[in-house]
A and B are shown apart, each in its own frame.
Chain A
Amino acid sequence: MDWTRIIVNALEASVGLQTVVFALAAIGLNVHVGYTGLLNFGQSGFLAVAAYGLAVTVATFDLPMWLGIIIGLAAAVVLALLLGIPTLRLRADYLAIVTIAAAEIIRLTVRSVTFEETFGGSDGRQAFAAGFYNLNPYPVNEYNIGRFGFNERQMWILTVGWILVGLSCLVVYLLMRSPWGRVLKAIREDEDAVRSLGKNVYAYKMQSLIIGGVLGCLGGFIYALGQASIQPDIFGTDTTFFAYTILILGGAARVGAPVVGAMIFWVILSLSDNILNEAIDAGYISPKVIATAEVGQVRFMIVGLLLMLLMIFRPQGIFGDRREIALDAR
């Protein structure tokens, strides 16, 4: 077994594109679920409208990239308003139902044959990232430390991605230490009590939905630019549930938790994938037990198992405060 390769792959996963994308998605989700208690099950929808806003503007209509980004951000705000206006006055469960349905509607619309000319059907959109890579300050090269490293394109997208992750965390930190953040946390605990103290709960929930959606949609941009291509099925319900898993791993309502959660999530997937494959190749695991083609599924079983163990031994997540969980048991 090539342990160096396994470890290098894991290290690359810890800072790689997927980690950045899901960290951003989970930072947004943390504002919704962790701080405000809004059950948003359609975070993938926010990523989708941003990615498609950018890709369609550039690839279909041949307009500049900056306009695509503005359109993507505006689409995320509009989506938040569309989801929020009818549901935020109702009980929390309605938002959950509407968001999961809305995300699926978006995915099925952009992959439909009717709109194939605009959205590209199930093949999605390509050839929209040139504008981004033209701005690349890194000269053409491999940037390696030993076997760990990235090429200049990866370096550029990861630099931008991690700057966005840093800025998003800073914004969340600044907001959540303020009286505004206090109102959100209070709404999570009991919105009638907050209403009785003269706060417009509806307006705060809407602001939270918009801010979390916009932060999450940054993940959509990074994914689209990093892959230089998007397909509708990337934005399925899986994406939302990965973001939830990451949030639970890290511990809800902690600023850095989504980032660390995303790193752990993708490192575990990388490790289990590589170790299992190497073990099968080396003959330690009989192909009758796990075939190479089954590794993809087995690694998610391992993540599930680890999540269960975490819930049993550390229910507050990695960063959570045990005292808070103890309060729920009262």
Chain B
Amino acid sequence: MPADNDHETIGSTDTTVTTQEAGSRRGQRDAAGVALAGVDHQPGAAKPDAILVADNIVRQFGGLRAVDVDHIEIQRGAITALIGPNGAGKTTFFNLLTGFDQPDEGTWSFGGRSLKGVAAHKVARMGMVRTFQLTKALSKLTVIENMRLGATGQKGENVFTALFRGLWGAQEREITERADDLLARFKLDTKREDFAGSLSGGQRKLLEMARALMVGPEMVMLDEPMAGVNPALTQSLLGHVKDLREDGMTVLFVEHDMDMVRDISDWVLVMAQGKVIAEGPPDAVMGDQRVIDAYLGSHHDAPLTEEDEQLVLAEAEEALERERAEAEKENQ
């Protein structure tokens, strides 16, 4: 399969974004920014309109406290990034929030309804849909079948009604129409009948995101949406994430790429060693000493100022002088 051509067709899409769309995106971003303007830049800060609230979430793996989060709130309608060094517990925290793993302690709620002990598939039905770090395209299903699968409330998914096409055929056509619209938006319509397994890494990420939208979520949780994506596709993917906010969805995503975090997020949460250590708007967080320490270690060498340099030089010269004096003494 000529993978290179696919990248070109998809990568080129973003240049066609109209100024009107861009303006509207900026509008949403401004709205989210205004809403978050008065929020304290401290871990666990209260948000004006929180969709997801978690308290005292603890997950222990043997002796390791992988996640230990006191309190967080995620603002509705904003793009929130979850960053942190490797092993900080970001993905584990994601799994706990979405019901793929259960914490040892803690309570959390989505849109006011408690999610404690709720199974993963029910969390998705409530409107919180996730994607995975390692893309889970369903390889031996075609792209359109992947999409159709995402629709909820399908009559034909009951084993008895499944036998009679008359009972689910009409709904299937509606679902297919919706799926085709989304495929066109994500520029995957030319791949409609291909096996999902034959797509490139970036196309799989797009498919996974489009499939998640078929569920009709209020909140989308993206686990490293940019991991393993061809740079040509990055801009396109970024655009799609911004579109989610434009459509009124809330986005929480885990990411390592700082440029992406700075570019699209309204708010950033930083995790290290299982705890949320900082939060705030992207620029403020990236200058935060706690964040720098978490990423680089607190005992890293600080860059030298000019005064420090003078001091060090003076010390070195002094030492040299002493040595010279000692050498002269020995010679005498």
Contact = CB atoms under 8 A, between A and B. Distances in A.
B178 to A, nearest CB: 14
Among A175, A199, A327: residue with most chain B CB under 10 A: A199
B150 A197 contact: yes
Interface string B128-168: 01111000111111000110111010111111001111001
B136 A198 contact: no
Contact of B124 (A174, A195, A324, A327): A195
A193 interface: yes
Nearest to A189: B138
Contact of A197 (B129, B139, B156): B129
A201 interface: yes
A210 to B, nearest CB: 9
Interface string B66-101: 000000000000000000000000000000001010
B152 A198 contact: yes
Nearest to B99: A195
Given A178-B165, A179-B157, A195 B145 contact: no
A192 B138 CA distance: 11
Nearest to A200: B121
Contacts of B195: 323-324, 327
Given A179-B154, A199-B157, A207-B159, A189 B129 contact: no
B140 A189 contact: yes
Contacts of A179: 148-149, 154-157, 162, 168, 172
* Chain B contact residues: helix, strand, loop or mixed: helix
Interface in B256-300: none
Contact of B163 (A171, A186, A199): A171
A164 B168 CA distance: 26
A196 B149 contact: no
Contacts of B156: 178-180
A198 B141 contact: no
B163 A175 contact: yes
Contacts of B198: 323, 327
B233 interface: no
A84 to B, nearest CB: 15
Q: Sort chain A's interface into a size bin.
A: 20 to 34
Contacts of A207: 159
A196 B138 contact: no
Given A178-B168, A183-B157, A207-B159, A195 B121 contact: yes
Contacts of A324: 140, 195
Nearest to A211: B159
Contacts of A186: 138, 141, 146, 149
Contact of A185 (B140, B163, B215): B140
Interface string A293-330: 00000000000000000000000000000011001001
List the 4 closest A-B pairs by CB distance, nearest first: A179-B156, A180-B162, A193-B136, A178-B162
Interface of A: 171, 174-175, 177-183, 185-186, 188-190, 192-201, 207, 211, 323-324, 327, 330
26 contacts: A171-B163, A174-B162, A175-B159, A175-B163, A178-B165, A178-B168, A179-B149, A179-B156, A179-B157, A182-B149, A183-B157, A185-B138, A185-B141, A190-B138, A192-B100, A192-B120, A193-B208, A195-B121, A196-B130, A196-B136, A197-B129, A198-B121, A198-B122, A199-B121, A201-B121, A207-B159
Given A178-B163, A196-B212, 13 more contacts: A174-B163, A175-B159, A182-B145, A186-B146, A186-B149, A189-B141, A192-B132, A193-B208, A197-B124, A197-B152, A197-B214, A198-B125, A324-B195
